[in-house]
Amino acid sequence: MSGAAPFNRERGLMRRVLRGAQSFLAELTAVRPARESVRAKLMRVVSLTAVIALLVAGSALLWHDLTVYRHSWTSDLTTEASILSISMAPALAFDDQAAAERNLVALEARSQVLVAALYLPSGELYADYVRSGATAPPARLPRVVAGTRISGERVELTQLIVRNGEWLGTIYLRARYDVMGRVLTYLGILAVVTASSLIAALILSTALQRGITAPLDSMADVARQIVHQRDYSLRVQKTTNDEIGLVVEAFNSMLNEVQLRTRALEQSNAALQAEVQVRNAAETALERANARVESAMAAAEIGSWVWDLQTDEAKVDRNLAALYGFDDEKKLNDDPVLRRQLIHPDDLAAVGGADAQALRTGVLPSTEFRIVQPDGSSRWVARRGKMHFDAGGKPVLMAGVLIDVTAQKLAEHALRKSESLYRAIGESIDYGVWVCDAEGRNTYASEPFLRLLGLTQEQCSNFGWGHLLHPDDAAATMEAWRECVRTGRLWYREHRFLGADGEFHAVLAKGVPIRDENGKISGWAGINLDISRLKHTEDALREADRRKDEFLATLAHELRNPLAPIRNAAKLLEAPGADDRQRQWGRDVITRQVQRMALLLDDLLDVSRITSGRLQLRKQPVDLASLVASAVETARPLIDSKQHVMETVLPVESIELEVDPLRLSQALSNLLTNAAKYTDPSGHIRLVASANAGDLSIAVSDTGIGVSAEAIPKLFEMFSQVDSPVDRAEGGLGIGLALVKGLVALHGGTVEAASDGPGRGSTFTIRLPRTGVVSAKRRSFVSATASRPAAGPRCKVLVADDNSDAAQTLALILNMSGYEVHLAMSGREALAVARRERPDAMFLDIGMPDMSGYEVAENVRREVWGEHALLVAVTGWGQPNDKEKSKTAGFNHHLTKPVDLDHVEQLLAAFSKQLHSRDGSGQSGGEGGRDWGRAG
Amino acid sequence: MPLSSNARRLRMALTGLAAACAIGTVAWPAAAAESYSEDAVKAAFLYRFTGYVDWPANALNDPQFTVAVLGADGVASELERLLQNRQIQNRPAQVRSIKNIKELDGAQMLYIGASHREDLRRLIAATAGRPVLVVTNEEGGLDGGSTVNFLLVDQRVRFEISLDAAESSSLRVASELLAVAIRVRGRRLTEAGCDEAGSSADVAACIREAARR
């Protein structure tokens, strides 16, 4: 379309102008900094709107104008052409070229028209008019396109000349199109108008905006003042009756409110300040208290925990972690399994059970359990907790503490231990422990005391014990007790209780008041010592003392007895006139009396030794028969002198006893002597020895004066003599039976007396425990008088082995070979026996529990007497190492079990030969025997 | 409005194009006056004259416009061809070749060919009082009383007009036609002082002026 192109060019231009205006406006309306005054904003708004409006209006007008201009121009031209074509039509129709040109020339008047040309339908140029300076029209118009075409500053019009439906020709017009000038003119006008309008608008708005900004300014001023001076009494004056006026009103009323509220606020502020101070103080106090609690809990080693039941998560605090031995609670909180792991396995069940119970019943039972510390040690802790419920009563969480109770637990243990200890002590001591309340009513008495009185605790309580006081003491004692309770003095009194045994027991009571921290008496505690035994002891001692005095008197007397004849005899010997026979008699008397004295003194010494425990038995295997024979022999003279009949009954089998033959013989002979002494002449004395299962009994019975029942207990006491003419006549110290008792007791046996009564004779029975060896063959030779034990035919041998069969077998063999064999069943026993017997040879087992053979040997070697002894190790250990050890320990030989008995005999034979050759003196026993091994 | 003017222009262009196509077949040859026969040109002129002449109302009662041609068969045939698709005075036109003036009947236009050398006056007198445009084609034709008379000047077909004759036929001739006539005569003109022998331009101007009066 020919017309479109020029139009589009216009539009492009317009668009460019618009775009420029847009960007300019965009910049204008860009965001401004905050503190731009309202006035400035208003001005900006006004100017912007004015400019925009003007620009838009101007642009629209311009565009419109251009459009209209174009329209009018083209329509003018078209009209012109139409007019021309009408006037040209006749010329063309009637081919009047001159007329055509004449018409065209008339266009001279139209200054805008540059070229007018007339073309025939064939396209030939018919007539034209060309203004000077203008380009000539085309000579031919080959193609006719009617219409207008604007190009730049020119507009071309082509129109068909049609008359009466007949195309007569084409008219072509070219005219000036002075658009740019117009645009520029228009723009100029627009600019001027815009500028002036803008100025006018600005001026106007400057004037008018006061209506808005003035009240705003005053509001702002007031607001600023208020802010600066905090004076809420200021108000804004309402000057306008528009929205701003409303705002001002509102502002004022707001200020009113603010003022009121400020006042109220200030008041409440003041109150608040005070409150805040108080609260701060409280907070600080709370913080401090919290800190104290924290540190107290830390110091007290109390940790706290919270168990959220809904999430099944437990959280512990620092203190609890410290109980577990951790620095902080992080590890424990992050790892619940760890917490379980650190509980002692034995206590896990209890803890789990407590948890389950808590979940079931809502109450967590207090649990005590051990937790393992990092260093491996255990620590007792007690866990307590409380369940917390939500509004609906559903358990939500549990919170509690963990307390270190190690100390308590240990204390508990210790307490329990000490309690049981004290109880044990309390129950074991034989005096009464009692506790009374502040009024003196008994609340506790120990078991021994209750047993003594035969009461139960209920019976003893209050003053129940009072009924058992000795009638003589009762009233006074109760009175004294009451007085004591009242005054609070120490209770210290002797009184007697009727015991459950029916006897009165003397009791020494001692009691102290228990005072509380105020000094007030809260109770009484004391002990009742049964001093009846003491009393008895006192009496006994007194009695013994008396008897001792008696004894001493008797002793003096008895000793003096022989002194008289000795003196006489001595005097006789001095006398010059005494003859040989008299002198002999004197010597005999002296000898006899001295012997008598010696015997007395010997007995005395023996008794003294026995009582002081210094009497040593030299036990050896002794044949019963020979023992009895020896005893009988000793008593024979007296028996015969009184013409008693002596009967001896012995068991069929020969019995061997491990006893001191001298001492036992002594005891037996004492009994026999007594029997003889206390029986009227031609009496009957009978000795019966019988072997029972556990012991051996030797009973000596006589048909003598007997013993009264009450005297029997006292018989064996020292210095007791049956007060009888016999004693007076025969003399004696009255220590014989005591001696017997002592001697038998040393052997581990007992002696008892029995009598049917005075004049009915008496029986004295010795019972001895049987020791193992029953030998059917050998009887050791027992010497009667020698104070030294009989020496064996060869050397003394000690066999020590904790295996009794081994020991006894070896001992037996050696015994059969004629050695004096001593047995020991342990190392210590071996050493003890060795020290006592000083054997020449020792066969020692090595592996003995209490002391090894090595040690025994070492000890023996240290002894002077053991230096040259033959020490043979007899043991299952046979390694060269063991033999070395034996050698180091001092053994001469090392034999391995089972021992070769021939070898043993050879060893011993060789050794004893060596021994005897060394010694040089005689060997076999008999009186005065050898004194081997005894330290010189 | 841009759009509508665009449309207008489009319409104009299309109309022009259509017109050109439509006219092209007929008017093209007709416009090239030199290359066409004299008869054709005269025929064309005859047709065109009708565009510049006003008939009185009573003359146009006929539904048809008839052009009587006397003694000019060539012109008649040309004119017939020309009038095939055309209208004259908004009614279909036809050509009637007549031999006798009496055959005129209701024709609104009469063309007397040069072949009839009779007394034009007597022929034309037959049309007196009737609104018939008489066009003659000989020297002094106007004297005979015709309104328009063809002349051949410089081998170009020209014509002269008698305003008096037009007047007596109750016809009015447009001034444009007068302007392109080689000669115009008429009482009024004489009275106006326009010399009939003056240059065409003067005469035209004078005529125009006179017409204005």
Q: What is the DSSP string of A379-442?
A: EEEEEEEEEEE-TTS-EEEEEEEEEE-HHHHHHHHHHHHHHHHHHHHHHHSSSEEEEEETTS-E
Closest Cα in chain B to A91: B180
Residue B153 touches partner A, C-beta closer than 8 Å? no
Task: Measure the CA–CA gap between A461 and A442, rounded to whole angstroms.
Answer: 5
* Structural contact between residues B12 and A85, judged by C-beta atoms closer than 8 angstroms: no
* Alpha helices, H only, A94-178: 97-105
CB-side neighbour CA atoms (13 Å) of A696: 25
Task: Measure the CA–CA gap between A413 and A596, rounded to whole angstroms.
Answer: 69
Write the residue in A67, A102, A121 that is nearest to B31 by C-beta: A121
CB-side neighbour CA atoms (13 Å) of A569: 19
Q: Residues A856, A862, A868, CA angle at the centre, nearest 5°?
A: 90
Task: Measure the CA–CA gap between A641 and A685, rounded to whole angstroms.
Answer: 13
Residue A810, H or E segment: helix A804-816
- Are residues B12 and A146, on separate chains, in Cβ contact within 8 Å? yes
Question: Omega before A898 cis (within 30°)?
Answer: yes
Residue A142 touches partner B, C-beta closer than 8 Å? no
Best CA proximity match to A402, nearest among A367, A350, A356, A361: A367
- Are residues B201 and A165, on separate chains, in Cβ contact within 8 Å? no
Task: Measure the CA–CA gap between B93 and A403, rounded to whole angstroms.
Answer: 138
* Contacting residues of B for A98, CB less than 8 Å apart: 200-201
First and final C-alpha spacing in chain B: 42
Angle of the A853-862 helix axis to the A880-889 helix axis, nearest 10? 30
Which of 167-206 (A) contact B at CB < 8 A? 167-169
Residue B16 touches partner A, C-beta closer than 8 Å? yes
Q: Note the pLDDT tens digit of each residue in B114-131.
A: 655 567 777 788 888 888
φ, ψ dihedrals at A847, nearest 5° = -85, 75
* Structural contact between residues A305 and A402, judged by C-beta atoms closer than 8 angstroms: yes
* Structural contact between residues A848 and A854, judged by C-beta atoms closer than 8 angstroms: no
Long-range contacts (CB closer than 8 Å, 24 or more residues apart) made by B159-167: B159/A94, B159/B45, B159/B135, B160/B184, B160/B185, B161/B185, B162/B186, B163/B187, B163/B188, B163/B189, B165/B124, B165/B134, B166/B53, B166/B133
φ, ψ dihedrals at A415, nearest 5° = -60, -45
Give the mutation candidate from B3, B10, B12 for the A interface (greatest A CB count, under 10 A).
B12
- Are residues B156 and A95, on separate chains, in Cβ contact within 8 Å? yes
Residue B203's pLDDT is 62
- Are residues A90 and B23, on separate chains, in Cβ contact within 8 Å? no
What tokens were used for A459?
A: 């019976």
Sign of CA dihedral B180, B184, B190, B196: positive
Å from A192 to nearest chain B CA?
28
DSSP A680: -
Write the residue in B6, B51, B159 that is nearest to A3 by C-beta: B6
Residue A934's pLDDT is 39
Residue A764's pLDDT is 93
* Structural contact between residues A514 and A481, judged by C-beta atoms closer than 8 angstroms: no
Neighbours of A176 (CB within 10 A): 17
Phi-psi region of A818 (alpha: psi -120 to 50; beta: other; left: phi over 0): left
Give the mutation candidate from A2, A162, A167 for the B interface (greatest B CB count, under 10 A).
A167
- Are residues B159 and A93, on separate chains, in Cβ contact within 8 Å? no
Which of 97-136 (B) contact A at CB < 8 A? none
Write the residue in A96, A144, A163 that is nearest to B51 by C-beta: A163
* Contacting residues of A for B19, CB less than 8 Å apart: 160, 162, 167
The pTM assigned to this predicted structure is 0.36
Residue B20 confidence (pLDDT) above 70: no
Å from A8 to nearest chain B CA?
10
Residue A145 touches partner B, C-beta closer than 8 Å? yes
Say which amino acid occupies A238: K
Give the mutation candidate from B81, B176, B184, B207 for the A interface (greatest A CB count, under 10 A).
B176
What tokens were used for A21?
A: 């205006």
- Are residues B45 and A120, on separate chains, in Cβ contact within 8 Å? no
CB-neighbour burial class of residue B94 (10 A; exposed 0-12, middle 13-18, buried 19+):
middle
CB-neighbour burial class of residue A643 (10 A; exposed 0-12, middle 13-18, buried 19+):
exposed
Residues pairing with A460 in the sheet? none
Question: What 3-state class would DSSP assign to A114?
Answer: strand
What tokens were used for A13?
A: 């231009």
φ, ψ dihedrals at B26, nearest 5° = -105, -50
Residue A64 touches partner B, C-beta closer than 8 Å? no
φ, ψ dihedrals at A297, nearest 5° = -65, -40
- Are residues A90 and B176, on separate chains, in Cβ contact within 8 Å? yes
Residue A94 touches partner B, C-beta closer than 8 Å? yes
Write the residue in B27, B157, B174 that is nearest to A121 by C-beta: B27
Residue B70's pLDDT is 86
Write the residue in B19, B45, B51 that is nearest to A160 by C-beta: B19
Write the residue in A7, A147, A166 that is nearest to B23 by C-beta: A166
Task: Measure the CA–CA gap between A284 and A277, rounded to whole angstroms.
Answer: 10
Write the residue in B5, B9, B27 that is nearest to A166 by C-beta: B27
- Are residues B176 and A87, on separate chains, in Cβ contact within 8 Å? yes
List strand residue ranges (DSSP E) for B29-132, in order. 53-54, 65-70, 87-88, 91-98, 109-112
Give the mutation candidate from B28, B36, B48, B49 for the A interface (greatest A CB count, under 10 A).
B48
DSSP A466: G
Task: Measure the CA–CA gap between B15 and B17, rounded to whole angstroms.
Answer: 5
Run means of pLDDT, 10 residues per run, chain A, 936 residues:
63 83 71 65 81 83 84 84 82 84 84 88 87 83 80 86 83 86 84 84 78 77 84 80 83 85 84 86 86 81 86 85 84 82 88 88 88 87 89 86 87 84 73 86 86 86 86 90 91 88 87 90 88 80 81 78 80 80 82 83 82 82 87 88 89 82 88 89 90 86 88 77 53 75 88 89 89 49 39 71 82 80 89 88 87 89 85 81 87 84 82 68 42 38
Write the residue in A1, A67, A95 that is nearest to B33 by C-beta: A95
Task: Measure the CA–CA gap between A861 and A256, rounded to whole angstroms.
Answer: 124
Residue A147 touches partner B, C-beta closer than 8 Å? yes
The string of DSSP letters for A880-916 reads: HHHHHHHHHHT-SEEEESSP-HHHHHHHHHHHHHHHH
Å from A188 to nearest chain B CA?
25
Say which amino acid occupies A616: Q
Q: Which residues contact B107 (CB under 8 A, 6 or more apart)?
A: B66, B67, B68, B96, B98, B132
Neighbours of A466 (CB within 10 A): 14
Write the residue in B16, B19, B177 that is nearest to A90 by C-beta: B177
Å from A87 to nearest chain B CA?
7
* Structural contact between residues B76 and B109, judged by C-beta atoms closer than 8 angstroms: no
Write the residue in B22, B41, B51 that is nearest to A164 by C-beta: B51
- Are residues A3 and B9, on separate chains, in Cβ contact within 8 Å? yes
Best CA proximity match to A140, nearest among A158, A120, A162: A120
Torsion of CA B8, B12, B14, B17, to 10 degrees: -170
**pLDDT confidence tier of residue B22, bands split at 50, 70 and 90:** low
* Contacting residues of B for A91, CB less than 8 Å apart: 179-180
Residue A376 touches partner B, C-beta closer than 8 Å? no
